[in-house]
Amino acid sequence: MIRAVALDIGETLIRDDRGWAAWADWLSIPRHTLSALVGAVVAQGRDNAEALRLIRPDIDIAVERAAMETAGLGEQLTEDDLYPDVRPALVTLRETGIRVVVAGNQTARAGELLRRLELPVDAIATSGEWGVSKPDPQFFAHLLELSGTAPFETLYVGDHPANDVRPAEAAGLRVAHLRRGPWGHLWAGTAEAAAADWQIDSLHDLLRLTVA
């Protein structure tokens, strides 16, 4: 029985368009160029931050991010960044008694911004706040503390086979691979994604998984 659903953030709850557009503008390159490079590193199975290093090999991402914040061009999240199914799907899950938590590889600032949106969830945490990122097993240990449930009672939802499917499965969680965003679409139908317990196209699909 699933008692808790834990959700990734980027390309699960929110679109990453705004963030990549901000980086392109900051680095003074066309947005399409950076989008294409992100797609290229994703196709190679590399971390999408490597796209920034293709533009500027010596870039210190943390330093540049801080400079963007100082210039007023830092991270922003609004209702428009959410996928349309987020609020209704999460409301429905909680109405059935499922505990809903959010945990992903994002900055501490992103955690603050998400909490300001007052999503219908029980808790939100990010790797920046925990000091550990997926696919590190410690991330999923923190996640289970957040959910307050046993691994086999917890369903993790994400788009990334290497960061979401495999490590969540290794931690004993149930896993749903979401066909959304560059990673979700590119790796759908592959052996990596097939390792998940379920393949879904929308967060609305979670209801049938948790009430079964």
Contact (Cβ atoms closer than 8 angstroms) between residue 148 and residue 101:
no
Give the domain extent around 90.
4-15+78-211
Distance of alpha carbon 135 from alpha carbon 131, whole angstroms: 13
Question: How many angstroms separate the CA atoms of 12 and 6, rounded?
Answer: 11
Query: Quick one: 90 and 124 in the same domain?
Result: yes
HEC letters along 75-103: CCCCHHHECCCHHHHHHHHHHCCCEEEEE
Angle between helix axes 61-70 and 17-26 (nearest 10 degrees) is 90
Q: Check whether residue 125 and residue 50 sit in a common domain.
A: no
The reported pLDDT for the residue numbered 145 is 97
Same domain, 53 and 93: no
61 and 99: one domain?
no
Collect all residues with Cβ–Cβ distance below 8 Å to 97 and sequence separation of at least 6: none
Please indicate, yes or no, whether residues 118 and 180 belong to a single structural domain of this protein. Answer: yes
| pLDDT of 116 higher than 80 | yes
| Total domains, the chain | 2
Residues 99, 200: one domain? yes
Domain co-membership, 55 together with 150: no
Are 11 and 94 contained in the same domain?
yes
pLDDT tens profile 78-107: 999 999 999 999 999 999 999 999 999 999
Instruction: Compute the distance between CA of residue 138 and CA of residue 178 in angstroms, rounded to an integer.
Output: 23
User: Is 40 a residue whose pLDDT tops 80?
Assistant: yes
| pLDDT band of 212, cuts 50, 70, 90 | low
Q: Which residues pair with 149 in a beta bridge?
A: none
pTM over 0.75: yes
Q: Do 42 and 104 fall within a single domain?
A: no
Computed on alpha carbons and rounded to an integer, the radius of gyration of the chain in Å comes to 17
